[in-house]
Chain A
Amino acid sequence: MIEVQDLTKSYGAVTAVDHVSFTVNKGEILGFLGPNGAGKTTTMRILTGYMPATHGTARVAGFDVFRDSMEVRRRIGYLPENPPVYPDMTVETYLDFVARIKNVPAERRPARIDDALRKTNLEDRRSELIKRLSRGYKQRVGIAQALVHDPEVIILDEPTVGLDPKQIIEVRNLIKSLAGNHTIILSTHILPEVSMTCDRVVIINKGKIAAVDTPQNLTSQLKGGQKIRIETDAPEKPLRDMLAQIPGASRVVIEPARAGGHQAVTVEAAQGNDIRNQIAAKIVEHGWPLYELHGVSLSLEDIFLELTTDDAAHAQASS
């Protein structure tokens, strides 16, 4: 449904999106995950025809986003980073305006507006002026606007920003319910959001794609690799030296003891290499008190940090 090839966008000297390629299948939900300034918004703006790419192509439903922009725009519902609302309009007149410029025929408009209001829980606010709505409600009006013409493709730039926890769950459920009939791209920097709603994830950092996979695969890809958590009151320096000698151990983080607790150590172990027994043996050998030692599999959060922090990117590239 959506094919992005070699997409590049430069703002003067800044390359916001750097040779990005990915595809989204019909009916799929793709999560666009990346830290601030990664290039998520820029990519979405190119896909929706808001601005042209510097290089590369993007197609939506077979139409080039630049050359057949009108065809693409007819098929897309788009929630920009800031909800594009007119403060002086009521929710209903605003949705009516959007339905008109999205070419919804007059006879279908009332039903489409009702549907969008119902899906975003705005029915009781339909006659309210948008400027009197809170941030979260404005965000919901922004989402309703993206749905009102029942588009094939829905592109949502950080749809859950500004919503309360209950609304976040409702919006996630809404997005999941839209999948199948609609192809959806959403961007976020909230990790659980991706594993909860998306079929596939594109992790983007500094304009480059760091990984494309299902949330399950991304998690299990590094599951063999383990994080080991140790509680021991060993002196820091000898402890570090000892861990450095164990093959496969890396990224040692030592948190000093809190009142009434113990010093906590986390170590990452390479894939398929269980080093828990070796660590335990060494600690006992040194005669340090050992209170706890257990393995934790890496979460999506760890993978994300690994893929998007600089030294990890290095490790990734050299491995």
Chain B
Amino acid sequence: MGSLYAIYRKEMGHYFVSPIAYIFIGLFLVLTAFFFNVILAEVIKQTFQMEMQGMRFGGPSDFDAPAAVMRSFFGLLSTLVLFFTPILTMGVYAEERKRGTMELLMTSPVSELEIVLGKYLASLSLFALMLLPTASYMIFMVLHSDPRPPWSMLAAGYAGVLLLGGSLLALGSFVSSLTENQLIAAVVTFAASLFIWVLDIGRNSDSGASAVLQYLSVIRHYEDFARGVIDTSSLIYYGSFIALFVFLTVRSVDSMRWRRA
């Protein structure tokens, strides 16, 4: 336990002494701010159109503007996550191997699980710190909406981003443990993420296979969260996804002893 924390602390220190963390958080903030404005302008335009239609044809408009903003915004976050997580995880193991510090870790009384979890939790924390400032836009919007959308909707959305990001980070860590080349790690992680992203491609067909593929797609479950729904089957999906890749990473780190070491 102490060792897990020591490794976690070391990783966080590494993120924050180098410019990595600041660049990531800054870049993420700028991109999300820009797209938030775009989304807001778009939704306001739509709202006007709806109201014009409402006036022309009578009857109240049932267009829920805050919900529309949230859905678009969480959709945007998920796309950014796809691009940011491979870069976040590409060096996790590659750097240790290149510097020879893996030899220190693997000859210390630390289990592979402690190494892997310490590193994983650190990358997840940095990811959460990246998301944190974006919540201010959403909180701002909720406070200025009338009627106010429920806070639970916002919470569900962020839970979804964290789980989605957490899954892709677990996948990325695993890939990073397989190769010493960071560029390869990033590209493979991106490709693999994209692949499980588009598994629900056949969502409009209703064959059994397509139902299974839809279940396996990372984004399918995310959409529930973005709509403010927390579904247990989705929680189980992300939980298993993360556990599977953490387990595979542990196996991969352990096998470094045999592979070449």
Contacts and interface: CB of A to CB of B under 8 A. Distances in A.
Contact of A101 (B13, B18, B105, B257): B105
Contact of B109 (A70, A80, A82, A87): A70
B104 A145 contact: yes
Interface residues of A, number: 29
Nearest to B15: A88
Interface string B101-120: 11111111111000000000
Most interface-central of A51, A70, A98 (chain B CB within 10 A): A51
B254 to A, nearest CB: 11
A51 B101 contact: no
Nearest to B18: A88
A103 B14 contact: no
Interface stretch (A42-50, A170-178, A218-226, A244-252): A42-50
Contacts of B6: 97, 100-101
A88 B20 CA distance: 12
A52 interface: yes
A86 B101 contact: yes
A85 B99 contact: yes
Contacts of B5: 100
B236 interface: no
Chain B interface residue bracket vs A: 20 to 34
B17 A88 contact: yes
Given A49-B106, A50-B257, A78-B107, A101 B100 contact: no
Nearest to B4: A101
Nearest to A94: B10
B48 interface: no
B257 A51 contact: yes
Contact of B99 (A52, A86, A93, A101): A86
A145 B104 CA distance: 9
15 contacts: A50-B106, A70-B109, A73-B107, A73-B109, A78-B107, A84-B100, A85-B99, A86-B10, A88-B14, A88-B17, A100-B2, A100-B3, A101-B6, A102-B108, A145-B104
Given A50-B106, A84-B102, A86-B14, 4 more contacts: A45-B103, A85-B101, A88-B14, A100-B5
Interface of A: 45, 48-52, 70, 73-74, 76, 78, 80-89, 93, 97-98, 100-103, 145
Interface of B: 2-3, 5-7, 9-10, 13-14, 17-18, 99-111, 257-258, 261
